[in-house]
Structure 1
Amino acid sequence: MLRLEGVDLSLGAFRLALDAEVPAGGRVAVLGASGSGKSTLLSLLAGFHAPDRGRISWKGEDLTDVPPAARPMSILFQDGNLFPHLTVVQNVGLGLRPDLRLSREERARVEATLARVGLGGMAGRRPADLSGGQQGRVALARILLRDRPVALLDEPFAALDPALRTEMLALLEALWRERGMTFVMATHDLRDAERLCDRVWLLEAGRVILDRPVAGLRDDAPEALRDWF
Protein backbone atom coordinates (compact mmCIF):
# COMPACT_ATOMS: atom_id res chain seq x y z
CA MET A 1 0.00 0.00 0.00
CA LEU A 2 1.25 3.46 -0.96
CA ARG A 3 -0.02 5.93 1.64
CA LEU A 4 -0.03 9.70 2.00
CA GLU A 5 -1.08 10.53 5.56
CA GLY A 6 -1.74 14.16 6.46
CA VAL A 7 0.67 15.28 3.75
CA ASP A 8 0.97 19.05 3.45
CA LEU A 9 3.35 20.88 1.09
CA SER A 10 3.47 24.61 0.36
CA LEU A 11 5.30 25.95 -2.69
CA GLY A 12 4.87 29.71 -2.71
CA ALA A 13 1.15 30.42 -2.94
CA PHE A 14 0.34 26.83 -3.90
CA ARG A 15 -0.55 24.22 -1.27
CA LEU A 16 -0.88 20.45 -1.70
CA ALA A 17 -2.81 18.74 1.10
CA LEU A 18 -3.55 15.02 0.81
CA ASP A 19 -4.75 11.94 2.66
CA ALA A 20 -4.83 9.15 0.10
CA GLU A 21 -3.74 5.60 -0.57
CA VAL A 22 -3.09 3.26 -3.50
CA PRO A 23 -3.13 -0.52 -2.97
CA ALA A 24 -0.13 -2.50 -4.19
CA GLY A 25 -0.79 -3.28 -7.85
CA GLY A 26 -3.34 -0.46 -8.09
CA ARG A 27 -3.40 1.93 -11.04
CA VAL A 28 -4.52 5.46 -10.26
CA ALA A 29 -5.06 8.19 -12.85
CA VAL A 30 -4.66 11.69 -11.43
CA LEU A 31 -6.78 14.18 -13.37
CA GLY A 32 -6.90 17.91 -12.92
CA ALA A 33 -6.54 21.21 -14.69
CA SER A 34 -3.10 22.75 -15.18
CA GLY A 35 -1.88 24.02 -11.83
CA SER A 36 -4.03 21.61 -9.80
CA GLY A 37 -0.97 19.82 -8.41
CA LYS A 38 -0.60 16.66 -10.52
CA SER A 39 3.12 17.01 -11.24
CA THR A 40 3.78 18.30 -7.73
CA LEU A 41 2.15 15.17 -6.32
CA LEU A 42 4.39 12.92 -8.42
CA SER A 43 7.48 14.92 -7.48
CA LEU A 44 6.52 14.56 -3.83
CA LEU A 45 6.13 10.79 -4.17
CA ALA A 46 9.44 10.54 -6.05
CA GLY A 47 11.24 12.47 -3.31
CA PHE A 48 12.04 15.63 -5.28
CA HIS A 49 9.97 17.61 -2.76
CA ALA A 50 9.74 16.98 0.97
CA PRO A 51 6.39 17.59 2.71
CA ASP A 52 6.17 20.27 5.38
CA ARG A 53 4.05 17.86 7.39
CA GLY A 54 2.74 14.33 7.10
CA ARG A 55 4.06 10.92 6.11
CA ILE A 56 4.57 8.98 2.87
CA SER A 57 4.93 5.21 3.17
CA TRP A 58 5.11 2.08 1.01
CA LYS A 59 4.03 -1.24 2.52
CA GLY A 60 4.43 0.25 5.98
CA GLU A 61 7.94 1.62 5.38
CA ASP A 62 8.28 5.37 5.99
CA LEU A 63 9.66 7.04 2.84
CA THR A 64 9.18 10.64 3.92
CA ASP A 65 12.91 11.35 4.34
CA VAL A 66 14.24 8.71 1.95
CA PRO A 67 16.20 10.20 -1.00
CA PRO A 68 14.81 9.70 -4.53
CA ALA A 69 17.36 7.07 -5.64
CA ALA A 70 16.57 4.86 -2.64
CA ARG A 71 12.77 4.91 -3.08
CA PRO A 72 10.93 1.92 -4.61
CA MET A 73 9.80 4.12 -7.50
CA SER A 74 10.65 5.05 -11.07
CA ILE A 75 9.27 8.09 -12.87
CA LEU A 76 8.44 8.50 -16.55
CA PHE A 77 8.27 12.13 -17.66
CA GLN A 78 6.47 13.54 -20.69
CA ASP A 79 9.78 14.23 -22.45
CA GLY A 80 11.35 10.93 -21.37
CA ASN A 81 14.12 12.74 -19.48
CA LEU A 82 16.78 11.44 -21.87
CA PHE A 83 20.29 12.87 -22.04
CA PRO A 84 20.96 14.03 -25.62
CA HIS A 85 24.72 13.41 -25.47
CA LEU A 86 24.32 9.78 -24.37
CA THR A 87 23.50 6.81 -26.55
CA VAL A 88 20.36 4.74 -26.12
CA VAL A 89 22.23 2.02 -24.25
CA GLN A 90 23.78 4.63 -21.93
CA ASN A 91 20.45 6.36 -21.25
CA VAL A 92 18.92 3.03 -20.31
CA GLY A 93 22.04 1.86 -18.46
CA LEU A 94 21.63 4.78 -16.05
CA GLY A 95 18.82 2.75 -14.55
CA LEU A 96 21.42 0.24 -13.38
CA ARG A 97 24.53 2.31 -12.75
CA PRO A 98 24.69 6.11 -12.62
CA ASP A 99 28.43 5.91 -13.41
CA LEU A 100 27.64 3.84 -16.54
CA ARG A 101 30.43 1.37 -15.79
CA LEU A 102 28.36 -1.52 -17.00
CA SER A 103 29.68 -5.03 -16.73
CA ARG A 104 29.25 -7.43 -19.67
CA GLU A 105 26.28 -8.98 -17.87
CA GLU A 106 24.70 -5.59 -17.21
CA ARG A 107 25.19 -4.54 -20.82
CA ALA A 108 23.48 -7.75 -21.91
CA ARG A 109 20.55 -6.95 -19.59
CA VAL A 110 20.24 -3.48 -21.09
CA GLU A 111 20.25 -4.82 -24.65
CA ALA A 112 17.70 -7.51 -23.76
CA THR A 113 15.44 -4.84 -22.28
CA LEU A 114 15.79 -2.70 -25.42
CA ALA A 115 14.74 -5.70 -27.47
CA ARG A 116 11.75 -6.17 -25.13
CA VAL A 117 10.45 -2.69 -26.04
CA GLY A 118 11.17 -3.05 -29.76
CA LEU A 119 14.48 -1.16 -29.89
CA GLY A 120 16.83 -4.02 -30.66
CA GLY A 121 19.77 -2.84 -32.77
CA MET A 122 19.38 0.82 -31.72
CA ALA A 123 21.72 0.78 -28.71
CA GLY A 124 24.27 3.09 -30.33
CA ARG A 125 21.85 5.80 -31.46
CA ARG A 126 21.28 9.09 -29.65
CA PRO A 127 17.85 10.55 -28.76
CA ALA A 128 17.96 13.02 -31.66
CA ASP A 129 18.13 10.05 -34.04
CA LEU A 130 14.90 8.57 -32.69
CA SER A 131 11.23 9.30 -33.23
CA GLY A 132 9.07 10.50 -30.35
CA GLY A 133 7.66 7.02 -29.89
CA GLN A 134 11.13 5.47 -29.84
CA GLN A 135 12.29 8.00 -27.24
CA GLY A 136 9.32 7.02 -25.10
CA ARG A 137 10.33 3.38 -25.44
CA VAL A 138 13.86 4.21 -24.25
CA ALA A 139 12.43 5.84 -21.12
CA LEU A 140 10.14 2.85 -20.59
CA ALA A 141 13.10 0.47 -20.99
CA ARG A 142 14.84 2.29 -18.16
CA ILE A 143 11.82 1.72 -15.92
CA LEU A 144 11.78 -1.96 -16.87
CA LEU A 145 15.45 -2.30 -16.04
CA ARG A 146 15.15 -0.54 -12.68
CA ASP A 147 12.39 -2.98 -11.74
CA ARG A 148 10.92 -0.82 -8.96
CA PRO A 149 7.42 -1.75 -7.77
CA VAL A 150 5.93 1.74 -8.24
CA ALA A 151 5.88 3.69 -11.54
CA LEU A 152 5.05 7.40 -11.53
CA LEU A 153 3.88 8.56 -14.95
CA ASP A 154 3.84 12.33 -15.54
CA GLU A 155 1.66 12.86 -18.64
CA PRO A 156 3.95 10.55 -20.64
CA PHE A 157 1.70 10.46 -23.73
CA ALA A 158 0.77 14.13 -24.08
CA ALA A 159 3.10 14.79 -27.03
CA LEU A 160 2.38 11.53 -28.89
CA ASP A 161 0.04 11.03 -31.81
CA PRO A 162 -2.92 8.66 -31.28
CA ALA A 163 -1.17 5.59 -32.74
CA LEU A 164 1.94 6.03 -30.59
CA ARG A 165 -0.20 6.77 -27.54
CA THR A 166 -2.06 3.48 -28.02
CA GLU A 167 1.25 1.64 -28.47
CA MET A 168 2.75 3.04 -25.26
CA LEU A 169 -0.42 2.36 -23.27
CA ALA A 170 -0.31 -1.25 -24.48
CA LEU A 171 3.31 -1.60 -23.38
CA LEU A 172 2.51 -0.23 -19.92
CA GLU A 173 -0.53 -2.47 -19.61
CA ALA A 174 1.64 -5.48 -20.49
CA LEU A 175 4.20 -4.35 -17.90
CA TRP A 176 1.49 -4.21 -15.24
CA ARG A 177 0.21 -7.68 -16.15
CA GLU A 178 3.71 -9.17 -16.06
CA ARG A 179 4.97 -7.50 -12.89
CA GLY A 180 1.94 -6.29 -10.96
CA MET A 181 3.42 -2.81 -10.65
CA THR A 182 1.62 0.06 -8.96
CA PHE A 183 0.95 3.02 -11.28
CA VAL A 184 0.21 6.64 -10.41
CA MET A 185 -0.35 8.50 -13.68
CA ALA A 186 -0.94 12.23 -14.09
CA THR A 187 -2.95 12.87 -17.24
CA HIS A 188 -5.24 15.35 -18.98
CA ASP A 189 -6.90 12.59 -21.00
CA LEU A 190 -9.65 10.53 -19.43
CA ARG A 191 -9.29 7.98 -22.26
CA ASP A 192 -5.79 7.14 -21.01
CA ALA A 193 -7.22 6.63 -17.54
CA GLU A 194 -9.90 4.31 -18.86
CA ARG A 195 -7.36 2.26 -20.82
CA LEU A 196 -4.69 1.83 -18.14
CA CYS A 197 -6.08 2.59 -14.69
CA ASP A 198 -8.63 1.18 -12.29
CA ARG A 199 -9.19 4.31 -10.21
CA VAL A 200 -9.42 8.06 -10.78
CA TRP A 201 -8.45 10.92 -8.51
CA LEU A 202 -9.55 14.41 -9.49
CA LEU A 203 -7.30 17.14 -8.10
CA GLU A 204 -8.40 20.70 -7.63
CA ALA A 205 -6.20 23.34 -5.98
CA GLY A 206 -3.95 20.71 -4.43
CA ARG A 207 -6.70 18.50 -3.00
CA VAL A 208 -8.37 15.27 -4.10
CA ILE A 209 -12.01 16.27 -4.58
CA LEU A 210 -13.04 12.95 -6.16
CA ASP A 211 -11.77 9.39 -5.74
CA ARG A 212 -13.70 6.64 -7.52
CA PRO A 213 -13.29 3.50 -9.68
CA VAL A 214 -12.87 3.87 -13.43
CA ALA A 215 -15.37 1.08 -14.07
CA GLY A 216 -18.76 2.49 -15.00
CA LEU A 217 -17.46 6.04 -15.09
CA ARG A 218 -19.18 6.98 -18.34
CA ASP A 219 -22.49 5.46 -17.22
CA ASP A 220 -22.56 7.30 -13.92
CA ALA A 221 -20.23 10.29 -14.23
CA PRO A 222 -20.09 12.61 -11.21
CA GLU A 223 -20.73 16.28 -11.93
CA ALA A 224 -17.06 17.11 -11.34
CA LEU A 225 -15.96 14.78 -14.17
CA ARG A 226 -18.55 15.54 -16.86
CA ASP A 227 -16.40 18.16 -18.56
CA TRP A 228 -13.66 15.54 -19.05
CA PHE A 229 -15.63 13.42 -21.53
Structure 2
Amino acid sequence: MVKRKGGSVGGSKAKKARETQIVKNEEGPDRSPAGESPKKPLLKKPPAFSPDSKGRRFWLIKSEPLTRLDDKTGEDVAFPLSEFAKVEREPWDGVRNYEARNNLLSMAVNDICLFYHSNCPKPGIVGIARVVQEAFPDESQFDPKSNHFDPKSKREEPKWWCPAVKFVGRLRHKVAAADLKIDSRFTDLALNKRGRLSVTPVSESHFKLILEISKEGDIEDDIDCEISRKYIVDEI
Protein backbone atom coordinates (compact mmCIF):
# COMPACT_ATOMS: atom_id res chain seq x y z
CA MET A 1 0.00 0.00 0.00
CA VAL A 2 1.23 3.48 -0.84
CA LYS A 3 1.57 6.08 1.86
CA ARG A 4 -1.33 8.53 1.64
CA LYS A 5 -1.43 11.94 3.24
CA GLY A 6 -5.15 12.61 3.32
CA GLY A 7 -5.87 16.20 4.33
CA SER A 8 -2.23 17.21 4.65
CA VAL A 9 -2.26 19.48 1.63
CA GLY A 10 -4.09 22.64 2.53
CA GLY A 11 -5.84 20.99 5.46
CA SER A 12 -4.82 23.02 8.51
CA LYS A 13 -7.22 21.15 10.79
CA ALA A 14 -5.84 17.78 9.71
CA LYS A 15 -2.28 19.06 10.03
CA LYS A 16 -2.99 20.29 13.55
CA ALA A 17 -4.33 16.85 14.46
CA ARG A 18 -1.12 15.20 13.25
CA GLU A 19 1.02 17.68 15.16
CA THR A 20 -0.99 16.93 18.30
CA GLN A 21 -0.50 13.22 17.71
CA ILE A 22 3.28 13.64 17.64
CA VAL A 23 3.45 15.94 20.66
CA LYS A 24 1.25 13.57 22.63
CA ASN A 25 3.58 10.68 21.91
CA GLU A 26 6.89 12.49 22.46
CA GLU A 27 6.58 12.02 26.22
CA GLY A 28 5.97 8.30 25.89
CA PRO A 29 3.44 5.85 24.46
CA ASP A 30 -0.18 6.90 24.25
CA ARG A 31 -2.37 5.51 27.01
CA SER A 32 -5.34 3.21 26.69
CA PRO A 33 -8.58 4.05 28.56
CA ALA A 34 -7.33 1.76 31.34
CA GLY A 35 -4.22 3.93 31.73
CA GLU A 36 -1.80 1.30 30.44
CA SER A 37 0.77 1.74 27.70
CA PRO A 38 -0.38 0.17 24.42
CA LYS A 39 1.17 -3.17 23.60
CA LYS A 40 3.46 -3.24 20.59
CA PRO A 41 3.33 -6.19 18.19
CA LEU A 42 6.23 -8.60 18.59
CA LEU A 43 8.47 -8.79 15.54
CA LYS A 44 9.38 -12.33 14.53
CA LYS A 45 12.32 -11.25 12.38
CA PRO A 46 15.13 -8.76 13.01
CA PRO A 47 15.70 -5.95 10.48
CA ALA A 48 17.00 -7.19 7.15
CA PHE A 49 20.30 -5.29 7.36
CA SER A 50 22.79 -4.39 10.07
CA PRO A 51 23.29 -0.71 10.96
CA ASP A 52 26.16 1.29 9.50
CA SER A 53 29.12 2.63 11.50
CA LYS A 54 26.91 5.46 12.79
CA GLY A 55 24.23 3.06 14.01
CA ARG A 56 21.78 3.88 11.21
CA ARG A 57 19.70 1.60 9.03
CA PHE A 58 18.29 2.62 5.68
CA TRP A 59 14.76 2.40 4.32
CA LEU A 60 12.57 3.47 1.43
CA ILE A 61 9.16 5.08 1.98
CA LYS A 62 6.61 5.83 -0.74
CA SER A 63 4.32 8.82 -1.15
CA GLU A 64 2.03 10.02 -3.91
CA PRO A 65 3.02 13.40 -5.42
CA LEU A 66 0.02 13.99 -7.67
CA THR A 67 -3.48 15.08 -6.74
CA ARG A 68 -5.88 12.21 -6.12
CA LEU A 69 -9.07 12.42 -4.07
CA ASP A 70 -9.68 9.83 -1.37
CA ASP A 71 -12.74 7.77 -2.27
CA LYS A 72 -14.11 7.96 1.28
CA THR A 73 -13.18 11.40 2.59
CA GLY A 74 -12.85 13.30 -0.68
CA GLU A 75 -9.57 14.78 0.54
CA ASP A 76 -6.46 15.10 -1.59
CA VAL A 77 -4.06 12.28 -0.67
CA ALA A 78 -1.06 13.84 -2.44
CA PHE A 79 2.04 14.42 -0.32
CA PRO A 80 4.93 15.38 -2.61
CA LEU A 81 8.43 16.11 -1.39
CA SER A 82 7.75 19.85 -1.66
CA GLU A 83 4.97 19.56 0.96
CA PHE A 84 7.13 17.37 3.19
CA ALA A 85 9.76 20.13 3.18
CA LYS A 86 7.22 22.55 4.68
CA VAL A 87 6.47 20.54 7.82
CA GLU A 88 8.81 20.10 10.78
CA ARG A 89 8.08 16.39 11.13
CA GLU A 90 5.46 13.97 9.91
CA PRO A 91 3.92 10.77 11.33
CA TRP A 92 4.23 8.12 8.62
CA ASP A 93 0.67 6.94 9.15
CA GLY A 94 -1.91 5.16 7.04
CA VAL A 95 0.13 2.04 6.27
CA ARG A 96 -2.12 -1.04 6.27
CA ASN A 97 0.15 -3.86 5.20
CA TYR A 98 1.71 -6.04 7.89
CA GLU A 99 5.12 -6.39 6.25
CA ALA A 100 5.36 -2.64 5.71
CA ARG A 101 4.13 -2.03 9.28
CA ASN A 102 6.83 -4.31 10.64
CA ASN A 103 9.42 -2.29 8.76
CA LEU A 104 8.04 0.87 10.38
CA LEU A 105 8.25 -0.81 13.79
CA SER A 106 11.89 -1.68 13.09
CA MET A 107 12.88 1.93 12.44
CA ALA A 108 15.02 3.67 15.05
CA VAL A 109 15.76 7.34 15.64
CA ASN A 110 18.36 8.64 13.14
CA ASP A 111 17.64 5.92 10.58
CA ILE A 112 17.60 7.32 7.04
CA CYS A 113 14.76 6.97 4.53
CA LEU A 114 14.78 7.39 0.78
CA PHE A 115 11.66 9.37 -0.18
CA TYR A 116 10.00 7.81 -3.23
CA HIS A 117 7.32 9.30 -5.48
CA SER A 118 4.84 6.62 -6.55
CA ASN A 119 1.68 6.44 -8.65
CA CYS A 120 3.02 8.99 -11.12
CA PRO A 121 4.25 8.82 -14.74
CA LYS A 122 7.87 8.22 -13.70
CA PRO A 123 8.12 6.74 -10.19
CA GLY A 124 11.41 7.13 -8.40
CA ILE A 125 13.49 8.36 -5.48
CA VAL A 126 13.52 12.13 -5.05
CA GLY A 127 14.61 12.92 -1.50
CA ILE A 128 15.89 11.98 1.94
CA ALA A 129 14.17 11.81 5.33
CA ARG A 130 15.36 11.01 8.84
CA VAL A 131 13.49 9.09 11.54
CA VAL A 132 13.03 11.39 14.55
CA GLN A 133 10.65 9.31 16.66
CA GLU A 134 10.19 5.56 16.95
CA ALA A 135 6.83 4.01 16.15
CA PHE A 136 3.75 4.95 18.16
CA PRO A 137 0.07 4.06 17.59
CA ASP A 138 -1.32 5.35 14.30
CA GLU A 139 -4.34 7.43 15.33
CA SER A 140 -6.07 7.02 11.97
CA GLN A 141 -6.91 3.40 12.83
CA PHE A 142 -9.29 4.65 15.55
CA ASP A 143 -11.02 7.31 13.43
CA PRO A 144 -14.27 6.06 11.82
CA LYS A 145 -14.11 8.94 9.34
CA SER A 146 -10.68 7.91 8.10
CA ASN A 147 -10.10 5.69 5.11
CA HIS A 148 -7.58 3.90 7.34
CA PHE A 149 -10.05 3.11 10.13
CA ASP A 150 -9.71 -0.41 11.52
CA PRO A 151 -12.66 -1.44 13.72
CA LYS A 152 -10.76 -4.51 14.94
CA SER A 153 -7.87 -2.50 16.37
CA LYS A 154 -7.97 -1.75 20.10
CA ARG A 155 -6.42 1.11 22.06
CA GLU A 156 -4.71 -1.28 24.46
CA GLU A 157 -3.22 -3.32 21.61
CA PRO A 158 -3.11 -1.27 18.39
CA LYS A 159 -2.46 -3.12 15.16
CA TRP A 160 -0.99 -0.18 13.27
CA TRP A 161 2.02 1.92 14.26
CA CYS A 162 3.91 4.78 12.69
CA PRO A 163 7.22 6.56 13.30
CA ALA A 164 7.73 10.28 12.78
CA VAL A 165 10.09 11.37 10.02
CA LYS A 166 11.71 14.68 9.17
CA PHE A 167 12.66 16.17 5.81
CA VAL A 168 16.42 16.22 5.18
CA GLY A 169 16.72 17.25 1.54
CA ARG A 170 16.13 16.56 -2.13
CA LEU A 171 18.28 14.76 -4.69
CA ARG A 172 19.75 16.55 -7.71
CA HIS A 173 17.40 14.57 -9.91
CA LYS A 174 14.97 11.70 -9.62
CA VAL A 175 16.53 8.23 -9.50
CA ALA A 176 13.95 6.43 -11.59
CA ALA A 177 12.58 3.07 -10.51
CA ALA A 178 12.77 1.87 -14.12
CA ASP A 179 16.53 2.51 -14.18
CA LEU A 180 17.07 0.66 -10.90
CA LYS A 181 15.06 -2.26 -12.26
CA ILE A 182 17.45 -2.86 -15.16
CA ASP A 183 20.67 -2.13 -13.24
CA SER A 184 22.32 -5.42 -12.26
CA ARG A 185 23.76 -3.80 -9.12
CA PHE A 186 20.22 -3.58 -7.73
CA THR A 187 19.01 -7.12 -8.38
CA ASP A 188 18.50 -7.70 -4.66
CA LEU A 189 16.99 -4.28 -3.91
CA ALA A 190 13.70 -4.82 -2.08
CA LEU A 191 12.04 -2.19 -4.27
CA ASN A 192 12.71 -4.43 -7.27
CA LYS A 193 11.70 -7.65 -5.54
CA ARG A 194 8.71 -6.30 -3.57
CA GLY A 195 7.64 -3.43 -5.80
CA ARG A 196 4.14 -2.97 -4.37
CA LEU A 197 5.32 -2.67 -0.77
CA SER A 198 5.24 0.93 0.51
CA VAL A 199 8.03 0.62 3.11
CA THR A 200 11.11 -1.47 2.37
CA PRO A 201 14.60 -1.95 3.83
CA VAL A 202 17.64 -0.76 1.89
CA SER A 203 21.20 -2.00 2.39
CA GLU A 204 23.95 0.49 3.17
CA SER A 205 25.69 -0.36 -0.11
CA HIS A 206 22.53 0.22 -2.15
CA PHE A 207 21.87 3.49 -0.33
CA LYS A 208 25.37 4.75 -1.16
CA LEU A 209 25.00 3.68 -4.79
CA ILE A 210 21.70 5.53 -5.12
CA LEU A 211 23.29 8.69 -3.71
CA GLU A 212 26.13 8.36 -6.22
CA ILE A 213 23.67 7.95 -9.10
CA SER A 214 21.76 11.01 -7.89
CA LYS A 215 24.92 13.12 -8.29
CA GLU A 216 25.32 12.16 -11.96
CA GLY A 217 23.76 14.25 -14.71
CA ASP A 218 21.97 17.58 -14.65
CA ILE A 219 19.83 18.98 -11.86
CA GLU A 220 16.09 18.59 -12.42
CA ASP A 221 14.01 21.46 -11.06
CA ASP A 222 10.73 19.62 -11.54
CA ILE A 223 10.66 16.23 -9.80
CA ASP A 224 6.85 15.90 -9.86
CA CYS A 225 6.87 19.06 -7.75
CA GLU A 226 8.86 22.27 -7.65
CA ILE A 227 11.38 22.34 -4.83
CA SER A 228 14.33 24.69 -4.44
CA ARG A 229 17.88 23.67 -5.31
CA LYS A 230 18.94 24.93 -1.88
CA TYR A 231 17.62 21.66 -0.44
CA ILE A 232 19.94 19.45 -2.52
CA VAL A 233 21.94 16.95 -0.46
CA ASP A 234 24.83 14.86 -1.80
CA GLU A 235 25.98 13.20 1.40
CA ILE A 236 24.27 11.95 4.57
Give your verdict on TM over 0.5: no
Q: Which of the pair is proportionally richer in helix?
A: 1
Q: Which of the pair is proportionally richer in strand?
A: 1
Give TM-score, length-normalised by structure 2.
0.28
Task: Considering Cα pairs closer than 8 Å and 6+ residues apart, tell me whether 1 or 2 has the greater RCO.
Answer: 1
